[in-house]
């Protein structure tokens, strides 16, 4: 099917506490084409996570329109929402916080597969779980490990496997490498890029490092105080940002982008 996979129009997210209301997202519109990566950048508090959660139906007070594969997401009934949540998954910053500490990686994946009716037997679920671990670059034998027995980067891989195993076509990665060592960040980002290329995954990458975005994203939107202040092809926005706020973000970019630069240079030789 042609047309963007995700289309967001005039999205607004409000948080209310008593008589106070904070409008965290103020009329954001964009589209993400199939198989592409949209980067969402902006300083802390600019509304990136609120935007992400609203798109996935995890926020209460939302207005505007979210269209996924031609369907209006905000108006879906329970069954429709369940189907949507299988196709659209979130990957969070803290992989330890989103994994059950008492469940081995293989069992966690197998459970998800069984719950969604994707494996008929335990043995089938275990075999699929092992395949997914290999898909994200882990040894199948790691199925027997508990979350605390993995490194941070490995845990994020398990998280990715869990998101993908239900058949996700769209991933929202909210600062997926911010909690990881710099040396590991590039590995996880490259895995995401490979999944985009090999499996046609469409995704939204949320982060504050514009140098990383240049490598990962096709298009970027720059958020400030709940609004999009700049948008365009990642290369263009980064080569010559039009907005002074984007220039500030660019100047503050840490060194992961440079690590990726070195990798890219190495690969080209």
Ligand X SMILES: Nc1ncnc2c1ncn2[C@@H]1O[C@H](COP(=O)(O)OP(=O)(O)O)[C@@H](O)[C@H]1O
What residue ranges bind ligand X (CB under 6 A)?
Answer: 15, 22, 24, 42, 44-50
SS3 call for 229? strand
Burial class (CB in 10 A: 0-12, 13-18, 19+), 242: middle
> Exposed/middle/buried for 225, CB within 10 Å: 0-12, 13-18, 19+?
middle
> Which two tokens mark 131?
């395949």
Q: Nearer Cβ to ligand X, position 89 or 154?
A: 89
Per-residue x/- mask for Mg ion, residues 103 to 142, rule CB under 5 A? ----------------------------------------
Name the binder of 187 from ligand X, Mg ion, none, CB < 5-8 A by kind. none
* Closest distance of CB 29 from ligand X, Å: 17
DSSP 8-state class, residue 148 = G
Binding of residue 89 to Mg ion (CB under 5 A): no
Say which DSSP state 239 is in: H
Task: Rank residues 4 and 47 by Cβ distance to ligand X and give the closer one.
Answer: 47
Edge-to-edge strand order for the sheet containing 6-17? 20-32, 6-17, 62-68, 71-72
Q: Nearer Cβ to Mg ion, position 45 or 167?
A: 45
Task: Give the residue nearest to Mg ion (CB).
Answer: 49
CB of 48 to ligand X, least distance (A): 3
Beta strands in 86-136 (DSSP E): 88-91
For residue 97 the two structure tokens come to 């916080």
Least CB distance to ligand X at residue 44 (A): 4
In this structure, what token pair is assigned to residue 115?
Answer: 């719950």
Q: Which is closer to Mg ion, CB of 47 or CB of 147?
A: 47
Question: Which residue, 4 or 207, has its beta carbon nearer to Mg ion?
Answer: 207
**Three-class SS state of 67:** strand
Give me the least distance between CB of 11 and ligand X, in Å please: 12
CB closer to ligand X, 93 vs 159: 93
For Mg ion, which residue of 49, 89, 159, 196 counts as binding (CB under 5 A)? Answer: 49
Going through the chain in order, the beta strands assigned E by DSSP cover: 6-17, 20-32, 37-41, 62-68, 71-72, 88-91, 170-174, 202-207, 219-224, 227-233
Q: Which partner from the list ligand X, Mg ion, none does 50 bind, CB cut-off 5 to 8 Å by kind?
A: ligand X
Binding residues (CB under 5 A) for Mg ion: these are: 49
């Amino acid at each position: 099917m042609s047309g963007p996979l995700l289309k967001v129009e005039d999205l607004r997210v409000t948080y209310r506490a008593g008589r106070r209301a904070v409008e965290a997202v103020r009329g954001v519109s964009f589209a993400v084409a199939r198989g592409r990566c949209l980067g969402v950048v902006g300083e802390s508090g600019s509304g990136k996570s609120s935007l992400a959660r609203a798109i996935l139906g995890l926020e209460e007070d939302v207005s505007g329109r979210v269209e996924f594969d031609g369907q209006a997401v905000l108006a879906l009934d329970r069954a429709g929402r369940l189907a949507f949540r299988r196709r659209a998954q979130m990957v969070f910053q803290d992989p330890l916080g989103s994994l059950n500490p008492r469940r081995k990686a293989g069992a966690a994946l197998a459970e998800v597969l069984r719950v969604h009716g994707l494996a008929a037997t335990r043995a089938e679920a275990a075999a699929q779980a092992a395949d997914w671990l290999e898909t994200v670059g882990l040894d199948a034998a790691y199925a027997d490990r508990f979350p605390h027995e993995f490194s941070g980067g490995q845990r994020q891989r398990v998280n990715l496997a869990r998101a993908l195993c239900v058949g996700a076509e769209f991933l929202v990665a909210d600062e997926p490498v911010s909690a990881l060592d710099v040396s590991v960040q590039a590995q996880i980002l490259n895995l995401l890029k490979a999944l985009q290329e090999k499996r046609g995954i469409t995704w939204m990458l949320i982060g504050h490092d514009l140098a990383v975005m240049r490598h990962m994203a096709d298009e970027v939107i720059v958020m400030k105080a709940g609004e999009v202040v700049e948008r365009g092809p990642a290369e263009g926005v980064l080569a010559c940002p039009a907005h002074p706020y984007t220039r500030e973000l660019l100047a503050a970019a840490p060194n992961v982008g440079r690590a990726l630069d070195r990798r890219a240079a190495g690969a080209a030789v």
